Structure 1
Amino acid sequence: MESVTTELSSLLTNQSSSKSCPTVDTTVENTLFGCFYILVFFLALNGNSLALWIFSHQRGSSSPANIFLIHLAVADLSYVIILPLRATYHLTGGHWPFGEVPCRVAGFLFYVNMYASLYFLACVAGDRYLAVVHAVRSLKIRRARYAHIISFSLWALVTVSMAPLLVTHQTAEVDGVTVCLQLYREKASRKALISLAVAFTPPFLATLSCYLLIICSLHRGSRLEPALKLKALRTIGLVMLIYVVCFLPYHMSRATFILGYNHPDVSCKTRRGLSLANRLTSSLTCLNGTLDPLIYLFGAEKFRGTLMRLFCKDSTGMSGATSGDLKGTHESSVSAKSEF
């Protein structure tokens, strides 16, 4: 992750040095991107704010998965707040009117959210694996205290890795307008490939492996009823969908962009396509902020119960909201019913 940040330089030189291939953002593209960010902003802000509100009104000690999901919601909200800036950037024709510091913060929060989300989803997958496959043996290590330590350690790691973005010049004048180099203008350096691999591959493979092992365990037979197994598989599918839709396209596109953009044999049309793909997949990463609340909604019976009490004004009131693991499977088959 560290070299991702160091490769975002004042930049544009390599891309704009291509005499016959100027970077052109069409009005239609900018309008679509701007409207997209506005829509995602409202959906993600409401979804994650509601999730945190429900988390805060659940009583009792939190489970590890619950804690990881809370941090995931915080990561989403930290990025959601800068989406209006990205929307404005597009709706003003690719002009950044906010100055140097907001540009740095926008890039910083973009990467912090993306990689914090990746690692918190991996933590949730690891906790689910322990709870389902090693339910009894994992009791000693599946504790809230350890989940807090892991979560704050991940925040520290991601924040320190992305910190250079806050002290590096990130705006430039191009064709009479100010551009924020953090928005699709990253330097196409091959050294960034190492950062992409280190930042994305470990959490992706960890999540995939944990869920495959869970699926195998459910297939071999478990104490869960068939209907609960189906719910578990749907939750796993939703988490993997977030990876496939939000994160995998961006990292594949970035790798292709880095390898191909400055190659001497690449045509202007191909470079234009690579740049557009980079912009499109970058915008897809923010969709995780709208999809993550679905994990809580469809993967956690207790979360749904609290939500129903909130909107249906159940006679028991909000005080009847149950506490515990929003997304997990408890150590017994009875409590497992409310976790998938």
Structure 2
Amino acid sequence: MNATGTEIRTAVCVKIGDSIISDLLMSVYILAFIFGLIFNILTLGPILQQVRRQNVLGIFLLSLLLSDILFIFTMPLWINYYRQDHHWQLGVMSCSVAGFFYYSNMYISIYLLCCISVDRCLVVTYPLRSKTHRTSCYAWAQCVSIYAVVTVLHVMVLFNDNLQDAHDGRDDRCYETYPMEKPVALFNLLRVGVGFLLPLLVLAVSYWRVLATVGQSPGLSAQVKRKVRLLSFGVIGIFSVCFAPYHILLLTRSLIFYTRPLESYCEFEQWVHFAFSCTLALSSLNCVVDPVLYVLVSNGIREDVKVCCKRNKTTQTNERAPSRHNTAKLNNQII
């Protein structure tokens, strides 16, 4: 770090004191931990059933669930961090590991959401031609590639970046060191462009094609069209609510760092600090809404949940449904 940056940091670029917002952030992480763990565990069985049937959507859902579970297991560390009023008392390495799982989950989730949106687009717009490409092997290859690329990139950042930049030893902060370094600011800009704006564009175009195709299809019932619209708007809405505020502020902070003097930059960081912390906490809610959005909306998986919860269902009831089930199965492939 250069001398100017050291002087600014020594003089405390951003003062983080005791605040009721720390309790608010802790509450958000506690709720995300509890409901995220419950929802993901409850939906694990039904998703595994879809994977056994070589269902492509089920494979994406399982990959999403595994990423969420790994992140959820690190949430108690962040809960303790905010309970201690932004003091990380667990060492430098644990701070880096917790941050690694936090940000890896964020971008693994974003790209898996993109894969799901593209898959839905192919099913609706090219139902026949997409059959040759929508295989379980192809879906697994996509998931493994996303995990590998995101993991390698974050491992490279951890090894090339000084761990002290993640953990501020003087104030015992974790990923709240100020001012940011130039390589960090550049990496933030890349994260916003490649990790958020590009996937958002892909997702928006995919669901725009889905909505346009479904709206012009006379063979689909009004109920199926409504569910497709709900899924489409739900994905875009959740994507925007969970990830957009964080990336917008991240982009703004990085641009201010490049365009303003350090003193002015520190004033800005002080002003937006808790707002930025809130957007980061908001992004953690994706591990709660992922299973709700993609599992409970899907008829096929919702039926598996009912089977898991009501194993003593009578055979007579099952025999009445086949014709209705077979009719709905074709429409469920679109959803």
> With structure 2 as the length reference, what TM-score do the two structures score?
0.85
Q: Are 1:272 and 2:270 matched, yes or no?
A: yes
The aligned counterpart of 1:191 is 186
Select 1:205's aligned residue among 187, 190, 201.
Answer: 201
Once residues 274 and 41 of structure 2 are traced to their aligned partners in structure 1, the CA distance between those partners, rounded to angstroms, is: 32
Residue identity opposite 1:196 in structure 2: V
Counterpart of 2:21?
A: 29
Match of 2:256 among 243, 253, 260: 260
Maintained 8 Å contact 2:22/2:85: yes
Which runs of 5 or more residues in structure 1 are unaligned? 1-8, 321-331
- Per-residue deviation at 1:58? 4.7
Q: Give the Cα separation in 2 of the matches to 1:162 and 1:22.
A: 26
Shift of 1:285: 0.8
Q: For 1:116-195, list aligned pairs within 5 A.
A: 116-167=108-159, 168-169=162-163, 170-174=166-170, 177-180=171-174, 182-183=175-176, 187=180, 189=182, 190-192=185-187, 193-195=189-191
- Alignment of 1:226 with 2:222, yes or no, is yes
Question: Counterpart of 1:4?
Answer: none
**One-letter amino acid of the counterpart of residue 125, structure 1:** S
For structure 1, which segment, 104-113 or 53-62, has the greater mean C-alpha deviation from structure 2 after superposition? 53-62
Task: Report the Cα offset of residue 98 of structure 1.
Answer: 1.2
CA–CA distance in 2 between the matches of 1:112 and 1:81? Answer: 13
The correspondence for 2:299, drawn from 295, 298, 301, is 301
Q: CA RMSD in A?
A: 2.8
Segment drifting more, 219-228 vs 208-217: 219-228
Deviations 1:305-326 (A, max 9, x none): 1222333444159xx8xxxxxx
The 1:184–1:144 alpha-carbon spacing in structure 2 relative to 1, beyond 3 Å, is: farther
Q: How many residues align?
A: 316
* Distance in 1 separating the partners of 2:87 and 2:300: 45
Counterparts of 1:60 and 1:153, CA distance in 2: 21
Cα pair 2:121 2:206 within 8 Å, conserved: yes
The structure 2 residue matched to 1:336, chosen from 326, 330, 335, is 330
Task: State how far apart, in whole Å, the 1-side matches of 2:39 and 2:307 are.
Answer: 17
Structure 2: runs of 5+ lacking an equivalent: 319-325
Residue 68 of structure 1 pairs with residue 63 of structure 2: no
Whole-angstrom distance in 2 between the partners of 1:316 and 1:259:
63
TM-score by length of 1: 0.84
Question: 1:242 and 1:58 mapped to 2: Cα distance?
Answer: 23
Contact 1:224 1:336 in 2 (8 A): no
> Percent of aligned pairs with the same residue?
26
